[in-house]
Amino acid sequence: MSLKRILFTTKFRNLAKEALLCLREFKKAGLEEIIMLHVVPIEEVGYVPYGGFSKEEFEKRKSEAEARFSEWAGELEKSGIRAKWHVELGKPVPKIFEVAETEDVDMIVAGRSKEDIVEKFVGSDTEELLQYSSWPVMLMKYLKCMKESWDFGRKVMLATDWSEPAQKALGFLMKIKGMTQEVHVVHVVEEGEPEEIEKNYMLVEEVAEKFRSEGIKAEGHVLKGDPVKKILEFAEFEKVTMIIMGTSGRSILKALLLGSVSRDVAEHAEIPVVLVPKKGKV
């Protein structure tokens, strides 16, 4: 299996094109096509209750978006990647899921600048996307792509807690192994007896061996401390290029009250993070 189709969602913020072009690296993992999507929120084109919306304004914005997508598609096709696009009117997240289902994509990519990677209030599009997606979601970090041609697969961290979502994340990483040069399997224990730590060393090494058997350099690590802090510190120290984690897809309210390791890592990491949900196909 491979990653063949990516849905790239954009609000045309600064460096959006650069983030899109970074995705060409996934061609090494079998990428064949990128579907670009821009959703125009209905309230931005004159929506009022029972009053409809301005079709003229929407058509104007649609035309502008399609002109940009046409240009971007040309850049992708030069690299041998097919491209198509959708410009939709409505609520962003439902439209993203609708297009993802229709186009049968393998991953959704949401580009964000470092300064506002994940908003912290209920109702945020990114928060909603992370909580309810049935597809792996990759949060891009525009600034990294701007500085260099980002090689996502050079050194990947698989952060695992042995849960079902974590196993899904492992499945996703195996799916893109064609672009992966080095894997670090990381498990963080907050508290534990020596025998528990030893048991986890055996488990991370077992996973690492799966990649070594594929000819990929891999190491297992067991860290002790706060999971978010340790994952981020390890990623920075080892110069990891991408983090892959499972996510439980808990309700927004529960996530805000209790916190989520995967969500917090995605928010604070300096590099792209892929969150793989428990539900859905990988």
Whether residue 115 sits in one domain with residue 82? yes
Classify residue 219: in a domain, yes or no.
yes
Report which residue type is found at 109. V
pLDDT tens-digit profile of 93-130? 999 999 999 999 999 999 765 444 444 433 378 888 88
- 3 state SS of 86: strand
Q: Which pLDDT score, from 0 to 100, does residue 281 have?
A: 65
Give the total number of structural domains in the chain: 2
Domain boundary among 147, 171, 197: 147
What are the tokens at 55? Answer: 């079709």
Domain presence at residue 64: yes
Is 81 found in the same domain as 51? yes
pLDDT of residue 26: 94
In the chain, the N- to C-terminal Cα span, in Å, equals 10
Residues 11 and 141 in one domain: yes
Tens of pLDDT along 206-243? 999 999 999 999 999 999 999 999 999 999 999 999 99
Are 273 and 243 in contact by the 8 Å Cβ rule? The answer is yes
Token pair belonging to 24 = 């060409």
What CA–CA distance (Å, rounded) separates 193 from 86? 53
In a domain, 282, yes or no: no
Task: Name which residue leads in pLDDT, 193 or 267.
Answer: 267
Nearest-angstrom CA–CA distance, 245 and 188: 13
Are 277 and 168 in contact, with CB atoms under 8 Å apart? yes
Secondary structure (3-state) at 114: helix
Percentage with pLDDT > 70 across the chain: 83
Report the amino acid identity of residue 35.
Answer: I
Domain stop point among 115, 147, 179? 147
Look at residues 3, 5, 72, 4 and name the one whose alpha carbon lies nearest to residue 38: 72
d(CA 95, CA 75): 25
Q: Give the pLDDT score at 169.
A: 95
**Residue 84 and residue 61: Cα distance in Å, rounded?**
17
pLDDT at 255 over 60: no
Residue 12 falls inside a structural domain: yes
pLDDT tens digits for 21-61? 989 999 999 999 999 999 998 877 765 566 666 778 888 89
User: Within a domain: residue 141?
Assistant: yes
Residue 101 has what pLDDT? 96
Indicate the residue type of 49: P
Pair 21, 82 in one domain: yes
Q: Across the beta sheet with 273-277, what order do the strands follow?
A: 82-89, 33-40, 5-9, 107-112, 137-141, 273-277, 242-247, 156-159, 182-189, 217-224
Tens digit of each residue's pLDDT (9 = 90 or more) over 164-210: 899 999 999 999 999 999 999 999 998 766 778 888 999 999 999 99
What pLDDT is attached to residue 147? 56
Q: Is 156 strand, coil or helix? A: strand
- Residue 172's domain comprises 156-277
Looking up residue 53, the CATH number of its domain turns out to be: 3.40.50.620
Comparing 70 with 253, the larger pLDDT belongs to: 70
**Domain end point (choices 103, 129, 147):** 147
**Are 140 and 37 in a shared domain?**
yes
Q: Report, as an integer, the average pLDDT of 50-77.
A: 88
Calculate the average pLDDT of the chain. Answer: 85
Query: How much is the pLDDT for 122?
Result: 34
Residue 189, SS3 per DSSP? strand
Strands 217-224 and 242-247: unpaired
3-state secondary structure of 34: strand
Confidence of residue 149 (pLDDT cuts 50, 70, 90): low
The answer to whether residues 141 and 162 belong to one domain is no
Residue 103 counted as domain residue: yes
* pLDDT of amino acid 141: 73
Residues 181 and 235 in one domain: yes
With the CA atoms of 111, 113, 118 and 122 taken in that order, what torsion angle do they form, in degrees rounded to the nearest 10?
-90
Residues 36, 130 within the same domain = yes
Please indicate, yes or no, whether residues 101 and 192 belong to a single structural domain of this protein: no
Would you place residue 280 in the very low, low, confident or very high pLDDT band (cuts 50, 70, 90)? low
Same domain, 108 and 209: no
67 and 189 share a domain? no
Same domain, 161 and 139: no
Strand-strand pairing, 273-277 and 137-141 = antiparallel
